[in-house]
C-alpha cells in the first residue's frame, strides 16, 4: 500500500495527534518524509509505481542502508530556487553517533505544491563488523534555509548480526 505524504500528515493532524507518523514531519507549509531502505531494487520499483516506498524496519550488520528524503513545498529565494539541505546522524544502541553526513536535498525552483518530490541526496551507509546488533536511530534534520525552517525526522532499524 502506498502512502501519500500530504494525506498521511494531514490525517495525523486531523486526528489530533501531536506528532506525525514515524519518519515524517511538518513545519509551516513544508512536509518531509524520510524513507530508509535496504533493497534498492524494490525501492526503485515502488517509486516508479508512484508510491512512497516503504521504509525498512530490519537490517543486518554489513547490509547497505540508504536514507532518502521526500518533500512537499519549499520556499524559493530571490533567485527563484529553493535551498533544502539535510544532515543524517546514526545513533547506535549505546547512544553514540558518528560524524553526521550532509547532503543537498533540493536547489531548484519549487515543484508544484501538493506533489511529493524525491530529494537529490541519498545517504548510504554500511555498518561494519565492529558494530553491535540492536536498535539504530537514523535521524535526519532537513532545513529550508530560505524559509528558516527545519524538520527532524527519525527511523529506527533493528540491526541484527551479520548474515
Q: Where are the domains of the chain?
A: 5-160
**Mean local confidence (pLDDT), 72-100:** 96
pLDDT surpassing 90 at residue 81: yes
Q: What is the pLDDT of residue 104?
A: 96
pLDDT surpassing 70 at residue 93: yes
**The CATH fold of domain 5-160:** Immunoglobulin-like (2.60.40)
Q: Which residues contact 119 (CB under 8 A, 6 or more apart)?
A: 68, 69, 70, 71, 84, 86, 103, 104, 105, 106
Residue 99 to residue 95: CA distance in whole angstroms: 13
Q: What is the pLDDT of residue 85?
A: 97
* pTM score: 0.83
CA atoms within 13 A on the CB side of 44: 3
Q: Which of the four pLDDT bands, split at 50, 70 and 90, describes residue 21? A: low
Helices (H), the chain: 5-14, 40-48
Q: Could you read off the pLDDT of 28-58 as tens digits, one per residue?
A: 889 999 999 998 888 888 878 877 778 889 9
Amino acid at each position: 500500500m502506498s502512502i501519500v505524504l500530504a494525506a498521511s500528515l494531514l490525517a495525523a493532524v486531523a486526528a489530533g495527534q501531536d506528532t506525525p507518523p514515524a519518519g515524517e514531519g511538518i513545519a509551516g507549509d513544508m512536509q518531509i518524509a524520510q524513507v530508509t531502505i535496504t533493497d534498492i531494487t524494490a525501492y526503485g520499483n515502488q517509486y516508479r509505481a508512484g508510491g512512497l516506498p516503504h521504509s525498512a524496519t530490519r537490517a543486518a550488520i554489513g547490509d547497505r542502508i540508504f536514507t532518502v528524503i521526500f518533500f512537499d513545498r519549499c520556499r524559493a529565494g530571490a533567485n527563484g530556487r529553493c535551498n533544502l539541505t539535510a544532515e543524517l546522524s546514526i545513533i547506535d544502541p549505546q547512544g553514540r553517533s558518528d560524524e553526521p553526513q550532509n547532503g543537498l536535498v533540493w536547489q531548484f525552483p519549487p515543484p508544484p505544491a501538493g506533489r511529493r518530490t524525491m530529494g537529490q541526496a541519498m545517504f548510504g551507509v554500511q555498518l561494519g563488523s565492529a558494530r553491535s546488533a540492536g536498535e539504530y536511530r537514523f535521524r535526519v534534520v532537513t532545513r529550508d534555509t530560505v524559509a528558516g525552517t527545519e524538520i527532524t525526522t527519525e527511523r529506527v532499524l533493528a540491526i541484527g548480526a551479520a548474515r
